[in-house]
Every structure is written in structure tokens, then in C-alpha cells.
Structure 1
């Protein structure tokens, strides 16, 4: 699985002018399932994200995790993280998981974060979404479970 994490002071996802997910301080997590991923991969990614020390402590150093700060997560499906741009000028997306698997893993990933005591909001899988955020720092981290 691939994920792009953005530390935010606020973030929201809108579908057809309706806010479907919204958080204050925490992480916006754009997530993409790959064809060989399974629920164990999603669990591994959720655990890693919950423990990453991306938030400032009292000394202003990035020493605290999402779990430690009680921050929230806004999880948004993002198949374009699997873009293949090696040839030509139009990205290919054949490295993304098929929609049925991608949906199941996206939902499992969000559930896995909840089971780690993270408050989770989500976008709407497969929808044309508008994502608004205020990046804090800015802190943006790329994760790939294959790395």
C-alpha cells in the first residue's frame, strides 16, 4: 500500500457540495492499495502511521505520534498514488488494485486505525472528491509498504 501523510491543522472532504469527512489537528492520509496488498498490509501500514513521530512535543521537536497526541485522521482513497509516469505524458494506473480489492483494503485500513484508538473520518470511495486542508509545517511524508 502507498500513503501520503500530511500533518494538518484542519482538513475536509466534500462530495457534491456535502462535507463527508472533516478533522481538526491530525493527519490527512491519502491511501492507495496495490494489487498484491492484503489485510495484513493494511494493518502494517495503520500501525506504522499510528506510531510515526510527526507531531511537536513541548520543546517543539517532532517526537510525538498521532496516537500520543490524540489527533485525528482523515483517510481518503487515492488510486493516483499508483501513477506510472515513466513513459509519455499521460500517467498509467495499472499498478493500482482493482476497485473491489481497493475498496475492501481502504475500509480495512480505516478500521485498523480506529482499532488503534485513532479517531478516523473518511472520504467516499470512488467518488469525485474535493479535499481542502491546511498543511501544518508543512509536514508531508510518503510511505510505501514495499519499501
Structure 2
């Protein structure tokens, strides 16, 4: 069975209580369940991992090689700062969808730059928790060669 790894970065463990006016009231557990349900509906297994540590996220990306067919990643603030995460994604050569609940292009200027976008198949942002469902569907379609 095809497997996808959903990675969530710093502060996403606080979903549901952190800035609900920006991120809504869904929890990280809700987001992970949405990803699993979306995968299951399409015959895809989904593993989830969250860390506030850049190194742990890089280790998870490295460990995904040969185990998962692709990645969905919300690197949080590391999106805008981490060349190391970008290099890790490029190194494992797994198709990756970058995802954000808020529209990063409509927020502060520093959020407009993504180090992940150049090594991702695509980016989905601005649809709240539905961004994860859309990212899953996009990656599943990509893996099936439908894009």
C-alpha cells in the first residue's frame, strides 16, 4: 500500500488554542485524522509526525526515504528560514506538497518567501484544515500520475 508522511513543524502542536482567528479551532489531532481519513478513502496509508525541532523534522524526512511515497509538510516558521529542511527534501527525492492553513502570501512580508516551494511539487495554503485534505488529494493524484 502506498504511504504518505504528513509532517508538521513548530507550534502546530498548539493548534486549537493558538491564534484561533488565524488557524481556527481544530487541533493537530483533528488535522492528522483528516489526513488519515483522506488517505484511507484513496487506499493510501498515512503516518503523521510533529516536532518543534528543526533537526527532528530533518531526521523524519531522511527516514521517509524508501518508506513513504511522498511527503505533505507544514514546516511552520521553518518554511521561511530553513535551508536545511529544503536540502533534506531535495536529498530524499520524494514528491512533496507544502501546506499551510493560512494564506502565507496575504500575511506578513517575511512569510511570502518559502524555502520549501522550490523543491516541492506544489503549495496549498489559505484553506484552513481543508488545506491538508487538498494537499493529500494533490499528492495522491501526483503519485498516481494524474497530474
TM over 0.5: no
Give the structure with higher Rg (CA).
1
Q: Give the TM-score normalised by structure 2.
A: 0.34
Q: Give the TM-score normalised by structure 1.
A: 0.34
**Which structure has more helix as a fraction of its residues?**
2
**Bigger relative CO (Cα 8 Å, ≥ 6 apart):** 1
